[in-house]
Amino acid sequence: MNINDLRRRNFLKTSVGAAAVAIAPGFLLFDIAHGKAQAVSGKVRWGMLINTEQCQEGCNDCVTACNKENGLSGGTSATDSQWIRKVEIKDVSSGRKVSLPMMCQHCEHPPCVDVCPTNASFKRADGIVLVDRHRCIGCRYCMMACPYKARSFVHEPLTDQNPDVPRGKGTVESCTLCVHRIDKGQQPACVESCTNKAILFGDLNNPDSEIAKKIRTVASVQVRASLGLNTGVRYQGL
Amino acid sequence: MSGHSPLYFKNRLYYVLLAAGGLVALAGMFAVYLMEHHGHVITGMNNQVVWGLPHVFAIFLIVAASGVLNVASIGSVFGKSIYKARAPMASLLSIAMLAGGLAVLMLDLGRPDRLIVAATNINFTSVFAWNVVLYTGMFSLIVIYLWTMMERRMNGWNKTAGLAVFAWRFILTTGTGLIFAFLPARQAYGSAILPPMFIVLSFAWGLAVFHLVQAVTYAWNERQHDPAIMERTKHLLGIFVIGSLYLVTVYHLTNLYFAQQVGFVRFILIEGGIYPALFWLGYIVLGNLLPLGLIYWPERKTNCVAASVLVIAGAFALLYVFIIGGQAYPLDIFPGFTASSSFGDGQIASYSPSIYELLLGLGGLAIAFLLTTVGVRIFNFMPQD
């Protein structure tokens, strides 16, 4: 064995060691983030049906659950993030009152994704509209474009974040449909917390799912349907 | 002291001007540092009014940067010699204002440190991303255009370069107008008239800035401006002001005709407090009626500079009403219903600009000022009539 062989062997050993050290944290973080190896299926389209007749005025359970799940402060000043909000509406002519939760409608043709200059706003194959916090430059054009005012800009430094829901000062954020829970086979926090069972969550594309059956049989609407965005969130009793 | 020549004082004054401009730009940088450190919470912007005073400054600078090139285009494309003599100065001003405007826009971002992300991830369905391409293209084209004017061997290409700049800036200002025209969700925007409106506004604002800078450089060089030339460019400003007033009127008129938009028009023109006040007093009276009076009043001594200053003041008033007033009016998410929530649904959003936003905006103006001052001093941009 000559000196060249030894050098080559040492070089290979060091290289493999260095590569392992470089890659290992990535695997570890992937595990911590509960990442799934398989890609999301485009056959699924997640959506919600909100029954406004069951939604109670003054009840804020969905908002509280969302704040807790996603590590939001719960503040309601003009610069605080609100991913879901209760809106009280009243028919101008008849005076009929309706209370409903409003959040990202997870459009099939999301204007926020169209206008985002850096592709930070994107739609997952299963219909969930998200913001890549590493790509968002904080231009707020998506907030200008969103017809539902569903997005918030992080105006202040953040502390005590939920590791499953990374956020960042200077970037835009909105309802993720609790994507981290969906990927674990759970339901979004707002759905689970609703004591009045006003929110039905499921796969709009699966004809046998409860939500698909319900949408086939009861009258439901998309908010601002005239914009032609085909929202994933629908409302009953509006 | 009396032993010094007038040139000595002028040189001194030049450095004083540079220092003053530099200080304002530095103050702007300090405001940016604070905004980045504390977050946008120290500004007046919020989740309802997401674009504020910095955008008023930035859009003014970018729109005027495009319009000021009109002077060059009339020279190079249409062959008018008095304008051709002014093309280099117009080009310098355009570069300076574009740089100032883009700096403000960039530094107002939530994450200005991610400039490289913006440059390497381009979403071609985003008119913002188109604008990144349009602005950088504009810079390069103007530099080439200047080269064809200042390098004798390149003179032959001047007309071609002038034509390219002419076409490009139309597309550029269309792009600026489309930023708002592509927002169907908001009552104030989402109108096809916005791009042409911005183009004609750019003519008026650009020419006003040009008049102002030209007057100052003539005074600095102790040269007398030919009154005949002044008269012609003054009338051109008048035509541009009337043209832009016409388009702004049509924009509001179409909104007024749509029943669903009447609430918004009432807000912006009558009931909205600061916004109607700025629109009528700032834009209509100061920005249009007074300058038109100064331009067209018979038997009046030419007062083109005063008219130009007023047009610029009107521009800021109009942009404030358009950008901030347009966001302050609530989105009509549930037509036919009144709405209320913790997130400002159905409420007029409040916005009061902070000193940091003002400093950032002024910093952009200072950048444009510095580039122009240094440019005029180093290169021979004086019109040679």
A137:B331 CB<8 A: no
Tokens of A154: 């992080």
Q: Do A89 and B129 touch (CB under 8 A)?
A: no
A/B interface, count of CB pairs below 8 Å = 171
Does some domain include residue A41?
no
Give burial (CB, 10 Å; 0-12/13-18/19+) of B220: middle
Q: What is the pLDDT of residues B202-231, one digit of tens each?
A: 999 999 999 999 999 888 888 888 888 888
Which residue does chain A place closest to B48, by CA atoms? A78
Answer whether B121 sits within 8 Å of A135, measured CB to CB.
yes
Question: How many domains, in total, are found in chain A?
Answer: 2
Assess whether A119 and A183 both reside in one domain: yes
Is A25's pLDDT higher than 80? no
> How distant is the Cα of A7 from the closest Cα of chain B, in angstroms?
40
- What type of residue sits at position A96? R
- Chain B positions touching A82 (Cβ under 8 A) are 47, 342-343
Shortest distance, CA B340 to any CA of chain A (angstroms): 5
- Give the model's pLDDT for residue B299: 66
Q: Is A99 exposed, middle or buried (0-12, 13-18, 19+ CB in 10 A)?
A: middle
Domains in chain B, CATH or no CATH each: 6-378 (1.20.1630.10)
Which chain A residues are closer than 8 Å to B58 by Cβ?
none
Q: Residue type for A176, please?
A: T
* A117 with B349: Cβ contact below 8 A: no
Residue closest to B328 by CA, chosen among B353, B351, B345, B354: B351
Sign of the torsion formed by the C-alpha atoms of B229, B235, B236 and B237: positive
Residue B255's pLDDT band, with cuts at 50, 70 and 90, is very high
Q: Domain range for residue A5? A: 1-32
| A89, A6 contact by CB (below 8 A) | no
8 Å CB contact between A45 and A204: yes
Q: Is residue A205 part of a domain?
A: yes
Q: Which of B91, B237, B236 is nearest to B162 (CA)?
A: B91
Q: Find out whether B210 and B234 touch, Cβ atoms under 8 Å.
A: no
Inside any domain, residue A100 = yes
- For A153, nearest residue in chain B (alpha carbons): B47
Tokens, residue B300:
């009046």
Residues of chain A with Cβ-Cβ distance to B331 below 8 Å are 147-149
Give the residue from A144, A226, A235 with the most B CB atoms within 10 Å of its CB, the best one to mutate.
A144
Is A37 part of any domain? Answer: no
User: Could you tell me which of A221, A188, A210, A205 has the C-alpha nearest to residue A45?
Assistant: A205
Query: In this structure, are A54 and A111 located in the same domain?
Result: yes
CA distance B317 to chain A (A): 21
Question: Which residue, chain included where needed, has tokens 């209760």?
Answer: A86
Q: Are strands A121-123 and A129-131 parallel, antiparallel or unpaired?
A: antiparallel
Same domain, A222 and A119: yes
Residue B119: is its pLDDT beyond 50?
Answer: yes
Test the A interface: residue of B33, B35, B40, B350 with most A CBs within 10 Å: B40
| A13 and A128 inside one domain | no
Asked if residue A59 and residue A16 are part of one domain, the reply reads no
Instruction: Report, as an integer, the average pLDDT of A201-228.
Output: 96
Q: Is the pTM of this model over 0.90?
A: yes
User: Same structural domain for residues A169 and A231?
Assistant: yes
Lowest-pLDDT range of A120-129, B33-42, B213-222, B327-336: B213-222
What is the rounded CA–CA span in Å between residue B289 and residue B286?
6
Which CATH number covers residue A220? Answer: 3.30.70.20
